[in-house]
Amino acid sequence: MNAPLIDQQCINTIRTLSMDAVQQANSGHPGTAMAMAPVVYSLWQHFLRFDPDDPIWPNRDRFVLSIGHASMLLYSLLHLCGVKAVNPEYETVGDLSVTLADIKKFRQLDSKCPGHPEYRWTSGVETTTGPLGQGVATSVGMAMASRWMGAYFNRPEFHMIDYDVYALCGDGCMMEGVTGEAASLAGHLKLSNLCWIYDDNKITIEGHTELAFSEDVATRFNAYGWNVTRVGDANDLAMLEGALTAFRNTEGRPTLIIVDSHIAYGAPHKQDTSAAHGEPLGEEEIKLAKRHYGWPEDAQFLVPPGVPEHFQNLIGTRGRAARERWMTRFTAYKMKYPELADALYRMQRRELPAGWDQDLPTFPADPKGLAGRDASAKVLNAVAGRVPWLIGGSADLAPSTKTRLIHAGAGDFSPADYGGRNLHFGIREHAMGAILNGLSLSKVRPFGSGFLIFSDYSKPAIRLSAIMEIPVIHVFTHDSIGVGEDGPTHQPVEQLASLRAVPGLLVIRPADANEVVEAWRLIMQLHHEPAALVLSRQALPTLDRTAYASASGLAKGAYVLAEAPGGNPEVLLLATGSEVSLCLAAYERLIVEGIQARVVSMPSWELFEWQSQAYRDQVLPPHVTARISVEQAATTGWDRYIGLAGTSIGMNTFGASAPLKALQKKFGFTPEHLVVAVKELLVPG
């Protein structure tokens, strides 16, 4: 079906900007952007509730480009719609988010148009995408956030939050396992505010999808509980609008719109080839495509007069009116429900309620102690009682991770009660991580939990939370060979090193219950850093803080827990988590023998690196080169703190299936072994 002239001109502007940018960069993926231009044009112009002048107003619809390699599709839209930039303080800036100059610098250093869309770098980008499948999985978290916020904030006369979420995905997304995990959960939760648009072009990098992919996607999604519809031609605007209208009218099910398209549609010499998917078209092919579109063949980065105005007349006018109605409604809402309005405002700015930490417990000294997970359960519920938008759950392990919210009214998030604060992700760690990202991007404060060993399953999503600088909370329990009889498949060894390798991720492994309190106190105040809180299954002694330093030292990442008499140590014992109490037991023996030892609790390397050089030298005096690190994990990375002269007591193999005490003896995690190691270090040979 032929589109009206102005519509076709707008669509072709998106196409030609995309092919010109990729060609000039000599890098990128033009085909999908060209083929999907009519789809995103129809969505943005006629359905998306989005105000280009205020791209962060809370009740805007979200658009997720899960096929992030088609980033020029989004950058073209952001430019043509006149989307404004927003600074980190959440104040709208008058400049355009994406200028034509930015598009001309596509994929170049410091351009606002990087190879894949990046959240916080380019306003209008709702989430960082690129790794296929994670965009659509993240969109499930956004849809869940809309439902939860609606249940919490809406009142019969005030519908404050009811936004929809749209995600554009492709064959690669459909092949990734995380997509199936997330789609299954979305169907179970009946998220009728979620719409995925599937570009069924049957092309991937290696060629036609028949090489590796032959499933019936429609039947698969029907089985997930989705409403499935099909658009037989990506260029049929009337059919596209009919499918999107059907989504809006569908209750009780998310929607999948399958769109049949051809890569680089309109450039006949490049149709259905992998080159069009992953490479520039080439100057001659671009000329042929532009001729096919009725476009000036030699024009580059052409935006015809009237095209930006047409976007402003449709999405601009409609979005502005929707936002202004919402702001008027919010003013009245604030008058009638001031506490709820204040909460909504604080959420958007990632601020906490006044007095949020006043119920945090203090744990008395106790040699028998408390497991890290049990202490965390008490602290988590104390915080959640004061921060209503702290919600979360686990990948089917809440009874073990102790992350269930138990205070009155917490409830379970379900189609029957979207106001429930306990989320059940099922055994879907990767999807859980991505969904947590979507929740956080929507300004809910989410936590998710699992065993540390299974952080491997959620690592791609954890990595993206760090790239996006969003404060997702990951709670990991069963943190070491302390898992015991479950054996090496469940005993984490390399996971701490793996998590510490993620730039921007705070990894915190507390030594006792009061360090757990301080960890939560710090984590809740983060604005831009995700955190991995690593907790023990087994009981850890609650340290006597009248004899040892205050647990508040956790905030600096490392602190002197037990000092050598006289304050001049000859050996430093460095440890995290359960091994701190082991070091203290060895310390008491060493002091009796006249060996001047200092015990340093190092719950977070990242926090320690944030401190001044003077503080770090105070904790780890450079002249004291006799140092021993103790951690029931791979020793990778400890060399930066113990130096060439130091010794690491850690795991250099996988664990074994046995009771904890037998494992500690086998792998050298005993006070006796540590005392011997200190003496060998101080008197070599």
* Residue 265 pLDDT exceeds 60: no
CA pair distance 684, 293, nearest whole angstrom: 79
CA pair distance 361, 385, nearest whole angstrom: 13
Where are the extended beta strands (E) located within 623-682?
A: 627-634, 647-651
- Residue 482: name the closest of 372, 583, 368, 402 by CA: 372
* Residue 271 pLDDT exceeds 90: no
Q: Is residue 340 part of a domain?
A: no
The alpha helices in 154-282, defined as continuous H runs, are: 171-175, 177-188, 217-224, 237-249, 274-278
263 plus 224 within the same structural domain: yes
Mean pLDDT, range 125-135, rounded to an integer: 97
CA pair distance 436, 185, nearest whole angstrom: 13
pLDDT for res 263: 61
pLDDT for res 650: 96
CA pair distance 178, 437, nearest whole angstrom: 14
Mean pLDDT, range 445-465, rounded to an integer: 97
pLDDT for res 272: 38
H or E segment to which residue 228 belongs: strand 227-231
Residue 418: give the domain boundaries.
366-541
H or E segment to which residue 208 belongs: strand 207-208
Mean pLDDT, range 213-230, rounded to an integer: 96
Q: Is residue 216 part of a domain?
A: yes
Asked whether 646 and 626 are in contact (CB, 8 A), the reply is yes
pLDDT for res 91: 72
CA pair distance 589, 597, nearest whole angstrom: 10
Which two structure tokens, joined as six digits, stand for 172? 């690669």
Phi, psi of 13 (to 5 degrees): -65, -45
232 C-beta neighbours (distance < 10 Å), count: 10
Q: Which residue has the tokens 């074994």?
A: 656
Provide CB contacts within 8 A for 466, sequence distance 6+: 502, 503, 504, 505, 529, 530
CA pair distance 472, 439, nearest whole angstrom: 9
Residue 364: exposed, middle, or buried by beta-carbon count in 10 A (0-12, 13-18, 19+)? exposed
- Give this prediction's pTM: 0.96
User: Percentage of the chain with pLDDT > 90?
Assistant: 90
Where are the extended beta strands (E) located within 478-538?
A: 506-508, 531-534
CA pair distance 141, 543, nearest whole angstrom: 39
534 plus 580 within the same structural domain: no
508 plus 623 within the same structural domain: no
Residue 389: exposed, middle, or buried by beta-carbon count in 10 A (0-12, 13-18, 19+)? buried
CA pair distance 321, 313, nearest whole angstrom: 11
Asked whether 152 and 420 are in contact (CB, 8 A), the reply is no
Stretch among 44-48, 138-142, 554-558, 564-568 having the lowest mean pLDDT:
564-568
Mean pLDDT, range 103-119, rounded to an integer: 95
Q: Band of the pLDDT at 92, cuts 50, 70, 90? A: confident
423 plus 496 within the same structural domain: yes
Given 257, 288, 323, which residue is the final one in a domain?
323
CA pair distance 576, 332, nearest whole angstrom: 51
Q: Band of the pLDDT at 157, cuts 50, 70, 90? A: very high
Strands 571-575 and 627-634: parallel
Q: Band of the pLDDT at 93, cuts 50, 70, 90? A: confident
* Residue 63 pLDDT exceeds 60: yes
Average per-residue pLDDT in the chain? 94
Q: Which residue has the tokens 């410091």?
A: 110
Stretch among 167-181, 194-208, 487-501, 637-651 having the lowest mean pLDDT:
194-208
Which two structure tokens, joined as six digits, stand for 34? 């060209």
pLDDT for res 221: 98
| Half-sphere exposure (Cβ direction) of 357: Cα atoms closer than 13 Å | 12
pLDDT for res 205: 82
533 plus 564 within the same structural domain: no
Can you tell me whether residue 367 is helix, strand or coil? strand
Which two structure tokens, joined as six digits, stand for 518? 């301080």
* Residue 266 pLDDT exceeds 90: no
CA pair distance 267, 288, nearest whole angstrom: 7
CA pair distance 208, 66, nearest whole angstrom: 20
Q: Band of the pLDDT at 291, cuts 50, 70, 90? A: very high
607 plus 638 within the same structural domain: yes
| Half-sphere exposure (Cβ direction) of 597: Cα atoms closer than 13 Å | 29
CATH of the domain at 384: 3.40.50.970
Mean pLDDT, range 223-248, rounded to an integer: 96
CA pair distance 138, 115, nearest whole angstrom: 19
305 plus 194 within the same structural domain: yes
User: Which is more confident, 58 or 213?
Assistant: 58
CA pair distance 140, 159, nearest whole angstrom: 21
pLDDT for res 87: 81
Note the pLDDT tens digit of each residue in 16-30: 999 999 999 999 988
CA pair distance 279, 649, nearest whole angstrom: 50
678 plus 557 within the same structural domain: yes
User: How far from chain centre, in Å, is Cα 481?
Assistant: 28
Provide CB contacts within 8 A for 190, sequence distance 6+: 225, 252, 253, 254, 415
* Residue 273 pLDDT exceeds 50: no
Q: Band of the pLDDT at 278, cuts 50, 70, 90? A: low
Which two structure tokens, joined as six digits, stand for 240? 């596209």
Provide CB contacts within 8 A for 226, sequence distance 6+: 183, 186, 187, 253, 254, 255, 256
Q: Is residue 596 part of a domain?
A: yes
Q: Is residue 574 part of a domain?
A: yes
CA pair distance 655, 525, nearest whole angstrom: 36
Number of domains the chain is built from: 3
Which two structure tokens, joined as six digits, stand for 589? 């023996």
DSSP 383-423: HHTT-TTEEEEESS-HHHHT----STT--B-BTTBTT--EE
Instruction: List active site positions.
Output: 429
pLDDT for res 267: 44
Note the pLDDT tens digit of each residue in 397-439: 999 999 999 987 899 999 999 999 999 999 999 999 999 999 9
Can you tell me whether residue 653 is helix, strand or coil? coil
Q: Is residue 230 part of a domain?
A: yes
222 plus 303 within the same structural domain: yes
255 plus 291 within the same structural domain: yes
562 plus 523 within the same structural domain: no
Q: Is residue 200 part of a domain?
A: yes
Which two structure tokens, joined as six digits, stand for 669? 């995690």
Mean pLDDT, range 459-483, rounded to an integer: 96
Q: Is residue 330 part of a domain?
A: no
User: How far from chain centre, in Å, is Cα 526?
Assistant: 14
CA pair distance 667, 627, nearest whole angstrom: 19
Mean pLDDT, range 323-351, rounded to an integer: 97
Q: Band of the pLDDT at 484, cuts 50, 70, 90? A: confident
Give the CA angle between residues 60, 63, 69 to the nearest 5°: 155
Asked whether 472 and 527 are in contact (CB, 8 A), the reply is no
- Which value, in Å, is the radius of gyration of the alpha carbons in the chain? 28
Residue 658: exposed, middle, or buried by beta-carbon count in 10 A (0-12, 13-18, 19+)? middle
Given 514, 541, 568, which residue is the final one in a domain?
541
Q: Is residue 358 part of a domain?
A: no
Given 541, 564, 597, which residue is the final one in a domain?
541
317 plus 380 within the same structural domain: no
